[in-house]
């Protein structure tokens, strides 16, 4: 434990994400696993500091630039990261007094070879602390740290008032949602087991397999998780197999299945049927197989396959095809805050084209009378309602059974689900 500096760990994590392109949700998990021996409070501090700095980065840069002659973009990566973290702690965390926060970042700058800039770090952070809250930020992009082009797009799609509610929704605190493996245990039994470990548990009224939980340290330390009695799966994601109307003896194909949550859920609903879970890479298939093994599912097979390539052997074969396709991820910014900085209008257009290509294949895998369930974890209409409209215009054999756009709030992420029947 000697020499462990949780702010330094946080700074190195942020540099890897913001300067070197690591994905926040993957890299932060790896860091927390590496430092699994830290106290629960220390791990929570790292998580809050890293995710909070990412979530609020546009606002933090605005605050820093209001007090610094050297603008954030011109700073050296470590100093830029230190300044963002310090501004976030001053504005949004109260673990220590602001003066102590400033001192910690000055010490960190010196430790990492920037003693010559320690006075700059100290002066700017103390100015921010003295004047905290006096900046009148009204611009939505700055206030909610959302790139201008995304706000403009949502304003056009949803109107300004709804867009404001969407932006607020991303900052609602979110409990972890889990799916109970009802093939192994009842929801009440699992609740009692978790409560016996002083884990906070709350029932989700809308989905019989869902629970919200909080107050644990490391998920892998919970015996019931390792025994496959529950699976980490967001409320929105759990809705997909239910909405698809999967029946006990159905043959189900999940086209882009990793890490396997929907496929495993489908396997419970199609207890006497079969589920084929496909994904593009060997690593993703390995992840699906790991979860199949942990949960003990016996009617699921994982297979490596490129969903953009038509598979003749699958034509008209499946009762239900789940097409939870690659998307911009703009509905799950709360879980992956760096997404909003990495997406562009050009990458969005490429995704829309990719989705259309996969849907063309998916339509041909559905039996007559079967179901195609299209879903994304975004709230971008071009990927959702407009995509479905374009699909139906050239596939008259399909009709919509139900279609739902979930917007982010305290209970779930932004998510789109459209269930179509093949007549």
Summarised one tens digit per residue, pLDDT across range 282-306 is 999 999 999 999 889 999 999 999 9
Q: Among 161, 131, 139, 9, which Cα is nearest to 64's?
A: 131
Mean pLDDT of 82-103: 95
Give the model confidence (pLDDT) of 1-36 as tens digits. 446 899 999 999 999 999 999 999 999 999 999 998
Q: Among 116, 123, 9, which Cα is nearest to 64's?
A: 123
Bridge partners, residue 202, by sequence: 212
- Measured from the Cβ of residue 315, the count of other Cβ atoms closer than 10 Å reads 13
Q: What is the mean pLDDT of the chain?
A: 95
Which H or E element spans position 389?
Answer: helix 385-393
Indicate left, alpha or beta for 159 from its phi (over 0: left) and psi (-120 to 50: alpha): left
The pLDDT value recorded for residue 3 is: 63
**Residue carrying structure tokens 């927390």:** 32
Q: Among 97, 86, 370, which Cα is nearest to 244's?
A: 370
Q: Are 345 and 397 in contact (CB under 8 A)?
A: no
CA 90 and chain centroid, separation: 26
The pLDDT value recorded for residue 2 is: 45
The pLDDT value recorded for residue 1 is: 42
Indicate which residues carry an active-site annotation. 377
Cα gap 386→382, rounded to integer Å: 5
Q: Are 325 and 359 in contact (CB under 8 A)?
A: yes
Cα gap 136→189, rounded to integer Å: 51
Q: Does 268 score more than 90 pLDDT? A: yes
As to burial, measured by CB atoms within 10 angstroms (0-12 exposed, 13-18 middle, 19+ buried), residue 310 is middle
pLDDT bin (cut points 50, 70, 90) of residue 177 is very high
Span of 32-41, 117-126, 392-401 with lowest mean pLDDT: 32-41
Mean pLDDT of 322-350: 95
Give the model confidence (pLDDT) of 363-372 as tens digits. 999 999 999 9
The pLDDT value recorded for residue 154 is: 96
Give the model confidence (pLDDT) of 378-407 as tens digits. 999 999 999 999 999 999 999 999 999 999
Q: Among 349, 396, 394, 226, which Cα is nearest to 296's?
A: 226
Report helix, strand or coil for 180: strand
Domains of the chain, CATH where assigned: 6-137 (1.10.940.10), 173-232 (3.30.70.1170), 236-422 (3.40.50.150)
Report the relative pairing of strands 318-324 and 366-376 from DSSP bridges.
parallel
User: Structure tokens of 221?
Assistant: 């330390």
């Amino acid at each position: 434990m000697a020499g462990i500096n949780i702010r330094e760990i946080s700074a190195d994590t942020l540099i890897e994400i913001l300067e070197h392109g690591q994905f926040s949700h993957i890299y932060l998990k790896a860091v927390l696993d590496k430092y699994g021996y830290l106290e629960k409070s220390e791990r929570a501090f790292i998580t809050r500091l890293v995710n909070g700095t990412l979530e609020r980065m546009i606002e933090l840069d605005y605050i820093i630039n209001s007090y610094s002659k050297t603008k954030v973009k011109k700073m050296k990566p470590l100093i830029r990261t230190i300044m963002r973290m310090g501004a976030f702690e001053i504005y949004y965390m109260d673990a220590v007094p602001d003066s102590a926060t400033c001192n910690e970042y000055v010490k960190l700058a010196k430790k990492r070879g920037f003693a010559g800039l320690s006075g700059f770090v100290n002066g700017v952070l103390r100015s921010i602390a003295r004047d905290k809250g006096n900046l009148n930020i009204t611009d939505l992009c700055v206030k909610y740290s959302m790139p201008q082009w995304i706000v403009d797009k949502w304003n056009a799609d949803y109107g300004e008032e709804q867009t404001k509610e969407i932006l607020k929704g991303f900052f609602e605190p979110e409990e972890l949602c889990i799916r109970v493996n009802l093939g192994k245990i009842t929801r009440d039994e699992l609740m009692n087991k978790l409560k016996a470990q002083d884990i906070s548990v709350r029932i989700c009224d809308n989905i019989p397999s869902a629970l919200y939980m909080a107050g644990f340290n490391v998920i892998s330390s919970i015996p019931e998780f390792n025994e496959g009695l529950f699976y980490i799966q967001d409320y929105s994601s759990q809705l997909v197999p239910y909405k698809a109307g999967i029946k006990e003896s159905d043959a189900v194909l999940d086209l882009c299945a990793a890490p396997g949550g929907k496929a495993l859920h489908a396997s419970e609903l199609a207890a006497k049927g079969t589920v084929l879970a496909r994904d593009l890479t060997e690593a993703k298939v390995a992840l699906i197989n790991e979860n199949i093994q942990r949960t003990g599912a016996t009617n699921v097979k994982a297979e490596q396959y490129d969903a953009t390539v038509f598979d003749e052997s699958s034509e008209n074969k499946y009762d239900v095809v789940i097409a939870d396709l690659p998307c911009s991820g703009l509905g799950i910014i709360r879980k992956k805050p760096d997404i909003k900085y990495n997406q562009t209008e050009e990458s969005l257009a490429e995704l829309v084209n990719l989705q259309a290509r996969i849907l063309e294949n998916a339509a041909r895998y559905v039996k007559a009378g079967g179901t195609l369930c299209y879903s994304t974890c975004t709230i971008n209409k071009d990927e959702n309602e407009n995509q479905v409209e374009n699909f139906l215009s050239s596939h008259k054999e399909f009709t919509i059974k139900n279609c739902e756009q979930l917007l982010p709030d305290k209970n779930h992420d932004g998510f789109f689900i459209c269930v179509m029947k093949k007549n």
